[in-house]
Amino acid sequence: MAEWDRTVDLLVMGSGAAGMGAALRAHDLGLDVLLVEKSGLFGGNTAMSGGVCWVANNLGMAREGIADSDEKGFEYLKHITKGEVPDERLWLFIRESKRVLAYLHEKTHVRYVPLAKYTDYYPEAPGGLPGGRSMDPVPFDGSLLREDLMRLRRPHPQSQILGKFGITAKEAQAAIGVGFKTMVFMAWQMLLYMLRYFKRKRWGRDTKLCAGNSLTGRLLLSLKERKVPVWLETSVEELVFEDGKVVGALLRKKGEAIRVKTHRGVVLAAGGFSRNLEMRKQYQRQPITTEWTAGTPSNTGDAIRLGRDAGGELDLMDEAWWTPVSMVPKSPFSWVLVVEKSLPHGLFVNQAGKRFTNEAAPYIDVVNGMYDDVAKTGASEPRWFHIFDATYRKSSIAGPVAPGKVMPDKQLPRRYRDGKFLYKAASLDALCEQLQIPAVTVKSTIARFNEHAVKGEDPDYNRGWSAQDRYYGDPRVKPNCSLGPVETPPFYAVQIYPGDLGTKGGLVTDEHSRVLRANGQVILGLYAAGNSSSSVMGRSYPGAGGTIGPALTFGFLAAEDAARAPRSQDEQEAAE
């Protein structure tokens, strides 16, 4: 019999939404839980995300007067997943996600409010809605975490206004542009930021946590109050089996090997493999790299590889939560084009100078359009660009570059100018020369785009037809807030890439989040949730929060199944 350094009921690997959710539920069901995190920071991908949670027919919708039903939610998911996800799995998520959210509101610090105007990503699809299913985390006072606030993974720098403070998803949509209301809002937020000076000085960072930092902060505080041990800088090196069941794991905590025995099993919830170049090249479409992801550096696929080596089946490994991105000099993360792609007076072209997709479509579809473009053109080193004019530049963002009214060209940091990030030229011919793409084709493409944009139409890709396309549009532009001609010099461009928020392929699981073999057999004692598991959303993306809703839900289901597991003889002896 091997010597064990510690014995627990359940070991949870990963401190994102899935891991912390599983640890919370397991503790509340009476299990002795240990949560381990490989990095030195809490929160994983969740902490860097928008923190939004997608739940159909959630309780907050009724309070907002938004009509929904489980049946409509199922109809929607069934349609967008194209029959590739079993009905019973979709129904499981629809039913259980509401229960999990209600439990978190009642028993923990987690708080969400529905975004009444944040559309599903396919609102016109059967069962789709124009708002309410995506829920925003309520801002959280990070000082309640005390010294652990500095161990909470920082938000993505893109989400910080002026690099200083965060805002909610609802506020972000309202803050688009540089109008009077926006300027007043920003001034008010800066005043509140200044009033938090003494809190910032004491705790080392701004204490108003929004988005993913709010969710992970609230989960972490809930774990701290329950005295659930969370070990940072602790990796899971190996799973230990006896008679085909997971009974423990070999950990490495700050270089020290520790053998942990588990009575009820191990939950793999350590994210995907977006930072593992070998796995990305093995499983995913080309071109691919680890540099284009907006995900955390610690997402190297450790949990997926542990489950795979234990005999677990993998699925959707060629997929990710795709988004077009730009690469910002001196930034460790790519910047996602969630807002820019929907704003008028700009368009995307490939290296041949042609449009290839609806720029304002859900970001997963835009990247699929980029890969379809590669397949169509056969380009060995494909390149894509976001081209826009002076009208766009004056009032709209471009990555870290604020609107020209706020950040004129002459005030741009040197690292953003002269093609280091932002290209600029007095004419389209000169711009195309810099980009090394054919000017004749670009001008023809833009001429056709402009002809229809002034009428609010896009016969080629239907941009602006869906309410989703228009969510981040400029309401001052008529007749279509997502379409405006690209005609006013000077002209600008930013190179874009097929990036992601994280991978979505992983271990195949059953209705209890138990990892399955290729023959459908359960690997006893082994669970997976979050981006370590194959997504219930299949190859689609239902709306903002389509990652976190399932992460919390299937983390809970793993904990609940572990709590129901029969007590082992060792566990009975320990209890006696």
Residues 49 and 198 in one domain: yes
Question: What pLDDT does 179 receive?
Answer: 74
Do the Cβ atoms of 390 and 488 come closer than 8 Å? Answer: yes
Tell me the whole-structure pTM to 2 decimals: 0.96
- Residue type at 220 in one-letter notation: L
Give dist(CA 503, CA 290) in Å, integer: 11
Hey, how many other C-beta atoms are within 10 angstroms of the C-beta on 564? 10
Same domain, 567 and 444: no
CA distance 275 to 144: 32
Q: Which DSSP state fits 139?
A: P
**pLDDT for residue 570:** 66
- My answer on whether 298 and 346 are in the same domain is no
User: Are 206 and 181 found together in one domain?
Assistant: yes
- Give the end of a domain, one of 471, 500, 529: 500
Question: What is the count of structural domains for the chain?
Answer: 2
Q: What's the pLDDT score for residue 527?
A: 98
For residues 514 and 312, the answer to whether their CB atoms sit within 8 Å is: no
Task: Give the residue numbers spanning the domain of 450.
Answer: 322-500
Indicate the burial class of 301 (C-beta count within 10 angstroms; 0-12, 13-18, 19 or more).
Answer: buried
Token pair of 65 as six digits: 């007067």
Residue pair 345/303 in contact by the 8 Å Cβ criterion: no
- Indicate if 300 and 375 belong to the same structural domain: no
Q: Could you say which DSSP state residue 154 is in?
A: P
Selection from 228, 199, 185 nearest residue 22 by Cα: 228
Report yes or no: 526 and 307 within 8 Å, Cβ to Cβ. yes
Amino acid 306: pLDDT: 98
Series of mean pLDDT values for 10-residue runs along the chain (576 residues) = 88 98 98 98 96 96 94 98 97 98 98 96 98 97 96 91 84 74 82 90 93 98 98 98 97 97 98 98 97 95 98 98 96 93 98 98 98 95 97 94 93 92 98 98 98 98 97 94 98 98 98 97 98 98 98 98 81 59
- Please check whether residues 275 and 417 belong to one and the same domain: no
CB atoms within 10 A of CB 517: 13
- Beta-bridged to residue 231, according to DSSP, are 36
Which CATH number characterizes residue 523's domain? 3.50.50.60
What pLDDT score was predicted for residue 569? 62
Alpha-carbon gap, residue 200 to 193, rounded angstroms: 9
Give the whole-angstrom CA distance, residue 191 versus residue 455: 42
The domain that holds 413 is classified in CATH as 3.90.700.10
Task: Tell me: do 422 and 567 sit in the same domain.
Answer: no
Domain boundary among 500, 516, 535: 500
Q: Do residues 2 and 96 share a domain?
A: yes
